[in-house]
Amino acid sequence: MASEESPLLTSSSDGGKTAHGAVYDRFTRGQKRWIVFIVSCAGLLPKFVAASFVPSIPQVAKELHSTHAAVSLTVSLSTFATAIGTLVWAAYSSFYGRRTMYLCGIPFLCVGSCGVAMSNSLRSLLFWQFVQTFGCSGGLSLGAGVIGDIYKLEERGIGIGIFLGATLFGFAVAPFLGGAAAQYWSWRNLHYSLAAWGLFELLLIYVSLPETSHPGTLGIDKLERRRWIHITWVNPLSCLWLLWSPNLFAVMLASSLALISDYVLLVPLAYTIGVRYGIANKAIIGACFLPSGLGNFIGAPLAGRLSDVVIKTWRKKRKGVWSPEDRLRATWIGGMFMVPLSIGVSGLLTAYVGGPIGLLLNLLCLFVNGMGVVFVLNPIGSYNVDVVHSHSAEITAANVGIRSLILSVATALVIPSIEHIGVVWTDIIVAVLAFLGQGIIFLTIRYGDRMRASVNVGFSTIENT
């Protein structure tokens, strides 16, 4: 029977030297770093595919004899494909394994990228972009699952940090490369390049990525009899049941509110910073995304290291007792200060400070926001893997799926909001939402044990996380 004092909070006097702890010693430190590198490259692909297309929308609309608004539907479609794909690949990874799902998904990316490059109509473009994004969307959930498979509790934050930094860095760098391709090369050649990248990643995974799932945990391993090619049905929506847990739903909502600030600053950047400071060149507009990516890249490993230190420090204070919500304390600096202040100040700068000084300070805000967002997302991502370790890919998929739907609505509203109430009030509203998200995290830290006890979705204990 569940009680308010969750069985998660178990004292461990052996320093984690358990039979379960030995499973993390299957790979050497060098092998783990290589695995993180491979899955980080795969995790970068979904964000890169979506964001690199945005600067080329005017060129695509002209070539396909369509309108900007119609071609912009590809952005919403990509978000929808990401939400579906991440659920599908995560659900099947628990049955067939992480490596198998990478090998099944990336061919969709390669074919879809070639289809996008050869599209001669809007209908064809929309179809192939869906296939393209669907194929690579598993990189986010599978990568988190792999890192949860190979790193123990006290080391997991830094692994998640490097992975998350790579994926968000791709979101910031992709517009620059997409804008440069649209300005000086061809958007079609860009997608052929993505197909080549996918093919290289596929070969890299086939040759050097081992199956990281813990022995005996896959669904196919538990079958007494199976065919040489065993195909089974796995409900991709089954991942979503994990969000029935109040604490898992709370941190998903808090991370979404923080991430909205990133999208609200970056998606309309050509209409805010571009117009305000007279920047028309697509490549230069794309380059303005780079400070945010740099903030992600620098902040992610720092946030991961901080969350690991917080876990160790508080576990020591509790005399060996582990409370998983302690990791969420690492979000304070990002959620309370960096994210709300950076987006609020950016709105004021855009409205009232012109010239090179205004542009430079705005780029600084983008950098601080990039760091602040990962200081929220990283501890939350690691927390999710900690508390439902056996469903690490599924909880990541559920977060990405629902978060993608929330972000698709937010991005659809941001430009109309700027047009109706202005960039200052739009950014202030988003800053307040991010601050409220941190309030949700505070409540989760304060009442996490009761929240877990109210709905048990199969939480991990110190012996099996």
Region at 381 (left for phi over 0; alpha for psi -120 to 50; beta for the rest): alpha
- 231 domain-assigned: no
Residue among 133, 94, 82, 387 nearest 235 (CA): 94
Domain annotation covers residue 277: yes
Q: Is-contact 386 156, C-beta < 8 A?
A: yes
pLDDT of residue 2: 41
- pLDDT tens, N- to C-terminus, the chain (465 residues): 344 444 454 444 444 455 556 777 788 888 888 999 999 888 888 878 877 777 677 777 777 777 666 666 677 777 778 888 888 888 888 878 889 899 999 999 999 999 988 988 888 888 998 999 899 888 888 888 888 888 887 777 788 888 877 777 777 677 777 777 777 788 888 889 999 999 999 999 999 998 887 777 676 666 666 666 667 777 778 788 888 999 999 999 999 999 999 888 987 887 788 888 988 776 787 788 889 888 988 888 888 889 889 988 998 888 888 888 999 999 999 999 999 999 999 999 999 998 899 999 999 999 999 999 999 998 998 898 888 877 777 888 888 888 878 887 887 788 788 888 999 999 999 999 999 999 999 999 999 888 988 888 777 776 666
Whether 18 maps to a domain, the answer reads no
Alpha carbon distance 92, 98 (integer Å): 8
| Range(s) of the domain holding residue 398 | 24-217+240-454
CATH number at residue 430: 1.20.1250.20
DSSP bridge partners of 321: 11
Number of domains forming the structure of the chain: 1
Check residue 6 and give its pLDDT: 44
Q: Hey, what's the torsion of the CAs at 382, 171, 438, 273, to 10 degrees? A: 160
Answer whether residue 311 is part of any domain. Answer: yes
Structure tokens at 199: 């093919």
Half-sphere exposure of 465 (CA within 13 A, CB side): 24
The reported pLDDT for the residue numbered 463 is 65
Residue 3 confidence (pLDDT) = 41
- For 214, which DSSP code? P
pLDDT of residue 227: 62
Indicate the pTM of the whole model.
0.78
Report the 3 state secondary structure along 154-199. Answer: HHHHHHHHHHHHHHHHHHHHHHHHHHHHHHHCCHHHHHHHHHHHHH
Q: Does residue 5 fall inside a structural domain?
A: no
Q: What is the pLDDT of residue 228?
A: 63
In this structure, is residue 7 part of a structural domain?
no
Place of tokens 């990401």: 82
CA distances from 453 to 3, 284, 392, 394 (A): 6, 52, 19, 20
Tokens standing for residue 27: 């790979």
